[in-house]
Structure 1
Amino acid sequence: MRPVRTLPQQLLSVAAAQEGLVSKAQCDVAGVDKDAVALLIRKGRWGRVARGVYDTDAEPTERRLRNDQHDHVRRRAAWVGMLAVPDGIATGACALALSGIGGLPADLVPEAARPGGMYAAVGDGIVLRRYRGFADRPYRGRRVAALVPALAQALPYLTRHHAVAVLSDALREGRLDAAGLQRVREHLRGRRGAAQVYCLLDLAEGRDGSTAETRARLSFIEHGVPPDGQQVTIVAGGVVLARVDFVWKLPDGRYVVVEIDGRAFHSGDAMLADDAARQNGLVATGRLIVLRFPAARALAGGAFSVGAEMADRLKVLSWRPGASIGRSIDLDQARRRRT
């Protein structure tokens, strides 16, 4: 048998659309038989992922240098499920990953369902769901669960933080609205674990600017210091100083502002200068206490979570819950009201 030196362009194109994965059936169509596949694996050019599913990039996923590394790993898990299950339809978190929904765990368990909930023997850690009668949509020659049923399928298996982050991302990106949330609730009815998920729907918030902000907000709530305002514009002297992530109003008329810094913070001299000028403008008013937390800190949680720190700080500052801050704070008007 001649060694495989050049793969058919047809198969390379298929792999490129499937996060580098191909199935045995796709290899057969492209003229790459089982002996050729075995040779590619033996030579270290391919890797076996599951029965009848191969990765055309033998490099471990954690060593692949991609700008979309985390999303690639999630989408790859979804493709493993679809290719390993006959006529596989991506469901749950895998369907959400293919739909571009954020807030998901870094590692997903490959899962898929067959049309009509039919059974198939699968292994290699792949989950076969026996879902029936859910809406789906086309995706690169396959099928994936539509957004609302995919959310209902995924939420019972996600942690509290991930579930709220997924819902908040869908709201922020305009993929879901209040009516859509109600449809998710209806789809959850009767599912195992649904009772524990219902309350999470009420915690979803489209104003969260990122998954890190969602985690921070939940941490504040868990520690008894829910923000008085979120995504609030600060104005002084008729000039917009900044739009800040979270705000608490203090009894003495001052405000505590918290910013969750993402990856872009400190990404370059120009960004650093802009952040510094922005913060200096806020602090110079004498009315604002500005705190910044890196996204990694907000995501970490634990005993030293941002919620725990804010609870301690606000206690010292005599903050009391109950204030409600709208979309903006005009510091001049607030000062006049106090005088």
Structure 2
Amino acid sequence: MRPRRILPQPLLSVAAAQEGLVTKAQCSAAGLDKDAVGLLVAHGRWRRVVRCVYDTDPTPSGQRRRDGRHDHLRRRAAWTAMLAVGNGIATGACALALLGVDGLVEEVVPEAARSGGMHSAVDGVTLRRYRDFADEEYRGRRIASVVPALAQALPYLLRGEVVAVLSGGLREERIDRRDLDDVRAMLRGRRGAGRVQGLLDLAGALDGSAAESFARLSFIDSGVPPDGQQVMFTLDGVFLARVDFVWCLPDGRYVVAEIDGRAFHSGEAMLADDAERQNRLVAGGRVIVIRFPATRALSDETPTVGAEMADRLRALAWRPAPGLANVGFVAL
């Protein structure tokens, strides 16, 4: 027989603030003893995540469909670490997820550190031995502040993810160029830091999303760095469109690359708006528009978006212009 117990409202409020997770101790404090918790798990109403941590949503995390699903799963991983580790401080990518820094595209592994670098194994959680890093309060817990969190996370991220996370931080003004210098200093001596150091200079606040960061990096790798980003086009003083990437051709035409983030757009209304914008741009014959879906930009499958763009640009006789400043405005 399925348990009919109505869960205490204070416990439901706690779960809502912790991405649906609760601990055995929190259940006990709300009047739910271990037998009641055992019945909830046995009857499929709750799921055990790690020792003494339970998910009040019975749907397996990988099967959940909801707005902001990926951000929810990353924050859930961070809460798993903080709740499973006594006095645990969320670190690395987990801290970045809770801070809302954009750019993470892969799943986040639960990780935390204990104050003073104390270490002991915790089932299902990576426990780091970081010492003496700045942290801050987050919903009654502690998480690494953004600069040390970046230094902790970057060596474990994909190459494109490193650029996307740093670019997201700059775009959202969570960090500035001086903070990048601090991240560089904190990285020294860490395993994997050498690979990351060279990517810090590729961070750009003009990237509008993680997909745009991946695309820009692919363009650079393929020898076709954009002449401009977030470029505004006008005609007779009237605004036409703002586009993601632009290349200037020798004959006075422009090639535009748009990264279509359909996962982040809003259905038919956004599709119609994109079509209207493209029609305005190409009407005069001076603009060539090439569109890539965000999933393609995030993929490293051959041919990459950079390789495809390089082929198209060479066919149009484009050549890099050394020292060209970002083209931010074009009057057609």
Question: Which TM-score band (shorter chain)?
Answer: over 0.9
Question: Cα 1:79–1:271, aligned 2, differ >3 Å: closer, same or farther?
Answer: closer
- 1:236 Cα deviation (Å)? 2.3
- Find the counterpart in structure 2 of residue 303 from structure 1: 302
- Alignment deviations for residues 171-225 of structure 1 (CA, whole Å, 9 cap, x no partner): 1111111111111112112212111111111111110011111111111111111
- The answer for the alignment partner of 2:84 in structure 1 is 84
2:315 corresponds to: 316
Is 1:288 matched with 2:272?
A: no
> Which residue of structure 2 aligns with residue 108 of structure 1?
108
Residue correspondence of structure 1 range 40-51 to structure 2 within 5 A: 40-51=40-51
* Alignment partners' CA distance in 2, 1:179 and 1:282: 38
- Once the two structures are TM-superposed, the CA of residue 13 in structure 1 deviates from its matched residue by 1.2
**1:257 aligned to 2:250?**
no
One-letter code of the match for 1:25? Answer: A
Provide the C-alpha distance between the structure 2 equivalents of 1:254 and 1:309, rounded to a whole number of angstroms. 19
- Residue number in structure 2 paired with 1:334: none
Give the Cα–Cα distance (whole angstroms) in 2 for the partners of residues 273 and 98 of structure 1.
34
SS at match of 1:144: strand
**Considering only aligned residues, what root-mean-square deviation do their CA atoms show, in Å?**
1.7
Deviation at 1:265?
5.6
Counterpart residue number, 2:182: 183
Identity %: 66
Extract unaligned runs of 5+ from structure 2. Answer: none
TM, length-normalised to structure 2: 0.94
Offset of residue 3 of structure 1: 5.2
Tell whether the 8 Å contact from 1:4 to 1:40 is kept in structure 2 after alignment.
no
Give the match's secondary structure for 2:105.
coil
Give 1:235 shift: 2.2
Would the alpha carbon gap of residues 41 and 273 (structure 1) be closer, same or farther in structure 2, given more than 3 Å must change? Answer: closer
> Equivalents in 2 of 1:266, 1:98: separation in Å?
25
Q: What are the residue-to-residue correspondences of 1:1-339 with 2, within 5 Å?
A: 5-124=5-124, 126-263=125-262, 267-268=267-268, 270-322=269-321, 324=324, 325-331=326-332
The question of whether the paired residues in 2 share the 8 Å contact of 1:161 and 1:218 is answered with: yes
Indicate how the Cα distance of structure 1 residues 133 and 235 shifts in structure 2: closer, same or farther if over 3 A, else same. Answer: same
Alpha-carbon distance change, 142 to 265 in structure 1, aligned in 2, over 3 angstroms: closer
Residues 224-254 of structure 1, C-alpha deviation per residue, up to 9 Å, x if partnerless? Answer: 1111111111122222221111111112221
Residue by residue, what CA displacement relative to the aligned partner does 1:24-52 show, whole Å, maximum 9, x if unpaired?
A: 22122222222221111111111111011
Aligned mates of 2:249, 2:34 — CA distance in 1: 70
Question: Is the 1:86–1:120 Cα contact (8 Å) retained in structure 2?
Answer: no
Partners of 2:272 and 2:123 in 1: how far apart?
A: 54
Give the letter for the 1:262 counterpart: G
The alpha-carbon deviation at position 4 of structure 1 amounts to 6.1
Contact kept? 1:111, 1:129, Cα under 8 Å: yes
Q: Equivalents in 2 of 1:90, 1:274: separation in Å?
A: 41
Question: Stretches of 4+ moved more than 6 A in 1?
Answer: none
Code of the aligned partner of 1:289: I
Residue 299 of structure 2 aligns with an amino acid whose one-letter code is A
Give the CA deviation at 1:266.
Answer: 7.7
Q: Is the Cα contact below 8 Å between 2:105 and 2:210 reproduced in 1? A: no
Q: Which residue matches 1:337?
A: none
Conserved? CA contact 1:85–1:120, under 8 Å: no
Unaligned runs of 5+ residues in structure 1 are: 332-339
For these two proteins, the number of residue pairs brought into alignment is 328
- The DSSP-based 3-state class of the residue aligned with 1:202 is helix
Q: Distance in 2 between matches of 1:183 and 1:312?
A: 39
After TM superposition, the score normalised by the length of structure 1 is 0.92
State the shift of 1:310 in Å. Answer: 0.5
Q: Deviation of residue 73 (structure 1)?
A: 0.5
Contact 1:207 1:231 in 2 (8 A): yes
Moved more, 292-301 or 308-317: 292-301
